[in-house]
Amino acid sequence: MRRRWFFFLLLTAIAGVLLVGGALWQAVNVSSLGEVAEQVDDTKPYLAAIRLALIGFLAITWTYWPAWTGRAKCWNPAQSAGWQALRWRVVGWLVAIELVIGQGLSAKLIAASTGIA
């Protein structure tokens, strides 16, 4: 069962990377690299909002996932409590990753500490 989910997620990730890469490749062929970079910069706030909305969706729906996957009846109370305990840890890590990678927080902190504008 776990292998099936792993392969499903792997194939979904590969398909997403190929779709985004193909779209960017096509965009570079149609227009210049500078125009594509400008369009990517224009969409950054929207993409950040989508990522934060997905993290919020995960936090809100976390308690319902075992029932949706049909595994709620297979878990004993200790496993269910362990699953619930992971909720805020996972959300916290996702927010930290979003701040560091998505928002470039580390680069902004280094620039602020060195005085580079």
**Mean pLDDT of the residues in the chain:** 85
The predicted-structure confidence for 28-70, as pLDDT tens digits, reads as follows 788 887 887 888 889 889 989 999 999 999 999 988 877 776 6
Could you give the angle at which helices 33-61 and 87-97 cross, rounded to 10 degrees?
Answer: 170
The pTM of the full predicted model, rounded to 2 decimals, is 0.66
How buried is residue 98: exposed, middle or buried, by Cβ count under 10 Å (0-12/13-18/19+)?
A: middle
Largest CA distance in the chain: 57
